[in-house]
Amino acid sequence: MEEPFENDHFFSHDYDLGKIRDDSKSNKEFLEKVEAAGLMDKLKKLAEKDAGEDSDIYRFAWENLTDEITTWMKTQGTDRWVGGVTGFGWRKQEGGKEFRASKGEELLREVLPKTQNRFEVYLEKDQIRIENWHHDAPTGGEWYTIKPATGDEGE
């Protein structure tokens, strides 16, 4: 049998969802009733707002992302990297650097600008590609490519 829904603190702010919650015996029944009442969008918005106020969710997402990058880095067999960027900032500049990193968090901190960023990471067989958005690149288009260093690179 499914466990009853335990975390209803955000339902106390919405009468319709609170009433359905009180009348439901399980998560499945609750979600079915919310869907039938046409309140699924309202539920999703409340859940997103609630998640946005929970710093643990961001921390878990960050740890998961950096752990995945670290795992990929280990498959490359090096801690030496070459990173390049195109479309950097409002002037759409290009550049690159060589660096060392053994963990995903170190790699991201080496290449991304020191500002509030929103980015998407693409782990490919032999490289990482990152599209980044920030105050000088609000529409994105700032692309980073990071590959294992070869030869004398990264020294």
Asked whether the predicted pLDDT for residue 24 surpasses 80, the reply is no
Enumerate helices (H) and strands (E) in the chain, giving the number of each. Answer: 5, 5
Q: Which residues are 48's β-sheet partners?
A: none
pLDDT at 99 (0 to 100): 97
Which of 74, 99, 68 lies closest to 85 in space, CA to CA?
Answer: 99
Same domain, 97 and 141: yes
pLDDT at 62 (0 to 100): 85
Same domain, 38 and 83: no
Asked whether the predicted pLDDT for residue 76 surpasses 50, the reply is yes
User: What mean pLDDT do residues 41-45 have?
Assistant: 80
User: What mean pLDDT do residues 119-124 have?
Assistant: 92
Kindly report the number of other CB atoms within 10 A of residue 44's CB atom: 11
pLDDT at 101 (0 to 100): 97
DSSP 149: -
pLDDT bin (cut points 50, 70, 90) of residue 77 is: very high
Number of domains into which the chain is organized: 2
Same domain, 88 and 135: yes
Where helices occur in the chain by DSSP H, the ranges are 15-23, 27-36, 40-52, 55-76, 104-111
CB 21 within 8 A of CB 11: yes
Look up residue 16 and give its two tokens: 């319709």
pLDDT at 66 (0 to 100): 93
| Residue 117, domain extent | 78-148
Distances (CA, A) of 147 to 5, 91, 112, 123, 128: 46, 24, 15, 11, 7
Which of 13, 24, 16 lies closest to 5 in space, CA to CA?
Answer: 24
Asked whether the predicted pLDDT for residue 122 surpasses 90, the reply is yes
pTM of the complete model beyond 0.85: no
The 10s digit of each residue's pLDDT in 59-68 is 788 899 999 9
CB 20 within 8 A of CB 35: no
Does residue 60 fall inside a structural domain? no
Asked whether the predicted pLDDT for residue 20 surpasses 80, the reply is no
Kindly report the number of other CB atoms within 10 A of residue 148's CB atom: 17
Same domain, 34 and 88: no
Same domain, 131 and 87: yes
Same domain, 83 and 142: yes
User: What mean pLDDT do residues 102-130 have?
Assistant: 93
